[in-house]
Structure 1
Amino acid sequence: MNDALTPAQLRSLTPLNMLSEQQWRELRTQLVPQHVLAGQLLFRRGDQARTTYYLLSGELLLEDADGCEERLQAGTVASCHPLSPALPRVQQARALSDVSVLVLDSATLTRLLTWHSALQGLLLELQQDGEDLEWLQRLLANPLFARVPPANVRAMLGRLQPVTLPAGSVVLQEGEQGDCCYFLKQGRAEVLRGSDSERQVLAELELGACFGEEALLADRPRNASVTLLEDSLLLRLDRQDFVALLKAPVVDQLSLGEASRLLAQGAAWLDVRLQDEYQQAHAAQALNMPLHLLRLKARLLDKERSYICYCDSGKRSANAVYLLAQLGFSAYALRDGYDALPALQRDALLSENGAGYLARSGGRIERSA
């Protein structure tokens, strides 16, 4: 068993089966079975490591301090629950045959379970208040909300301002400064770029969609227009509320030292500046995906890998992290960009120049010719 567990396998494990598929994706790097040879110990009595174990194949012997033994076979009801979950552990576990086990970080699992339970409680409360939940459930299915505390979701709902507009209304205008974002509660809308004969339709927005947030993240003019295709009900969230309730929890920021440690664990730099800026100087082995092309090019990135986005001021990279979170990627921003670094650190970071590196399908990174 070398491949990650399938949804069907995860649904058989308690309490993993309480999580959503999006939350399973957040655990994806941990969902690969590990192998233990016959005779080896999985853990000892008194172990206090915050680790959750599930037996997936084979047979284990569990033994407590009084010598009481319990044989545990994979595929039984008992094996669908964590092994000796209390800390410090009251049993030791020894493999009676070659076994495979699922090993999870307990703190991460607890956080996801707590978020899921709190969110379900919020939805139940809103349902009892007569709230139409379909749009909200679609909104919360967006991967970025997996990182927003339920308390922030509740506070956000209290600050949304309803706006009813007829079909044909231009809600956002390309080039204007952004002071708010919107959620689509009823109706349909389309995203357009350009004008007259050069106008392109970029997307049609579905129920629960959030739009207009990119200008708030980057503190730049709107990069597209949004027009209503039918009479619609929108919910407006002002800039200050968006930053406090959504941006802060979603956009994880790192110092250069923290970024270096993450790079040592397999993360990659992602330069979101323009190609000309990148070619002047960029981080070692950094990929270049300009922010305005990121949504299109993100399909080339590897969802099993973390990415550290950087730019000069930190504004474009914050926008990139928010976008990547929407798409289900693990991403971080270099805090305040490289302009905030001392000159020696900035020069050491931007140590390469020229065409650099390209992302290929499957997450492969190649040096450009």
Structure 2
Amino acid sequence: MEKGMKGMDLALMEESSALDFGWVRTLVPLKAMGDAHLLELLQHCPAQMAFKGQNLFEAGSYDRQHVYLLHGDVELRKPDGSSELIKGRSSLFPLADEQPRPCSAVALTDSSILRINSEQLDKLLTWSQVAEYLQIDTAYQPELDDDVDWMLTVLKSNLFFKVPPTNIGDIFTRLRPQKVVKGQVILRQGEIGDGCYFIKEGCAEVLRSADGVQRPIHLADIGPGRCFGEDALVNETVRNATVKMTTDGVLMVMDKLDFIHLLKEPQVNQLPLTALQSVQAQAVLIDVRTEDEYALGHLSQAVNIPLGLLRLKTRMLNVAQEYVLYCDTGRRSHAATYLLQKLGYKVSYLQKGVNQDLDLRRQLASNKGDYLLKDGRATPVLDSGQ
């Protein structure tokens, strides 16, 4: 059978990879991800052992990874000869999170580390936070109350993780309901696939014949929330199993052409790096990264509205004010810009994000003071002692 919405067995994952999921759940920015998206990320990056004296990375190198120290001691050695000792669980942030690496990292003891592909992390983090935005948005639409549960199930399905985050909301406009009856065959082994199905109501069984001719054997029972037939969305292949309803029910169906349409990313207003300085006088900068990332450092006079909380914070914005959104890579700010444009705000995002420029990265490190929105403008937050 196609993979469907299997989900991951957390206990088995922790046992096989030596990951303490509870601790990993506190790391930045992993803590801002939903469980389904985080588990999808972690299944590709189990914990690794680093032995005493082993280099984790070299100064000046590009590895495009987030490297977290889980256990043990690591020394960060800078080119100027200075060093810093990092002990396991003493920091929630990745080690020397900058490309190229500003220092080398050497294990002083046998250590456990977690290496995560930065690109994959950025994609799933954006997906997860846009899904959170949509979850909040449904609360503003009481007519959707009856559909909330299955909509949230769809948002947690790894089937759609390849869809650009800007198109997540369109998933529901592409799914059409289909009433089915007990005994109805939905997919037949050996047929050409042309779509996928979510079970909204009812149950089905999965059957397979060894050669397509012999009497099929029962493989599994599936119920509400499960997806099947998804291989047909991306591959020209025949069905490798038969799915038959065991009760009456309702399926949500997506055709292959609709899925392909969802893969096309829409255009939104973007601002090149060269134009950033010229617009700062009239535009308000909004950092859409998480609160922890913002607290570590941000651009001068930027306010923080995390992507996942964007729907709750729109009341603080002024439709007449111009806003420029940014994040590390441009992916989260691109999605946030699209969502705010749909609501009628004057927004653009910093193309490619702050990671593209050394001066911007230095600004992130030097600006710690908080700003908040007041009448749509950035206002500094004064310390309690002032």
Residue 271 (structure 2) aligns with? none
Deviation, structure 1 residue 47: 4.0
CA-to-aligned-CA distance 1:91-128 (integer Å, 9 cap, x gap): 44444445443333322322332222233223333343
Residue 253 (structure 2) aligns with? 236
Deviation, structure 1 residue 193: 7.3
Distance 1:90 1:206, change over 3 A: same
Deviation, structure 1 residue 82: 0.8
Deviation, structure 1 residue 241: 1.8
Residue 34 (structure 1) aligns with? 49
TM score, norm. by length of structure 2: 0.49
1:117 to 2:134 alignment:
no
CA-to-aligned-CA distance 1:218-258 (integer Å, 9 cap, x gap): 5658963533613x333232342245448x99xxxxxxxxx
* RMSD after superposition: 4.2
Q: Please give the alpha-carbon distance, in whole angstroms, between the structure 2 residues aligned to 1:29 and 1:42.
A: 19
Report if aligned partners of 2:30, 2:38 keep a CA contact under 8 Å in 1: no
Residue 102 (structure 1) aligns with? 114
**Mapping of 1:1-369 within 5 angstroms?**
3-19=17-33, 20=35, 23-38=38-53, 42-62=56-76, 69-76=83-90, 78=91, 80-130=92-142, 131=144, 132-164=147-179, 167-168=181-182, 170=184, 172=186, 174=188, 180-191=195-206, 202-211=219-228, 218=236, 224=242, 226-227=244-245, 229-230=247-248, 232-245=249-262
Q: Structure 1 unaligned runs (5+)?
A: 250-369
| SS of structure 2 residue aligned to 1:121 | helix
Distance 1:70 1:159, change over 3 A: same
Q: Please give the alpha-carbon distance, in whole angstroms, between the structure 2 residues aligned to 1:88 and 1:239.
A: 41
TM score, norm. by length of structure 1: 0.50
Using the aligned pairs only, state the percent identity: 32
Deviation, structure 1 residue 18: 3.8
Q: Please give the alpha-carbon distance, in whole angstroms, between the structure 2 residues aligned to 1:93 and 1:173.
A: 53
Q: Please give the alpha-carbon distance, in whole angstroms, between the structure 2 residues aligned to 1:134 and 1:179.
A: 26
Q: Structure 2 unaligned runs (5+)?
A: 1-14, 210-214, 266-386
Code of the residue aligned with 2:250 in structure 1: it is L
Distance 1:9 1:199, change over 3 A: same
Q: Please give the alpha-carbon distance, in whole angstroms, between the structure 2 residues aligned to 1:103 and 1:221.
A: 36
Deviation, structure 1 residue 158: 0.8
Report if aligned partners of 1:58, 1:97 keep a CA contact under 8 Å in 2: yes
Deviation, structure 1 residue 159: 2.0
Residue 358 (structure 1) aligns with? none
* Equivalent residue pairs, number: 240
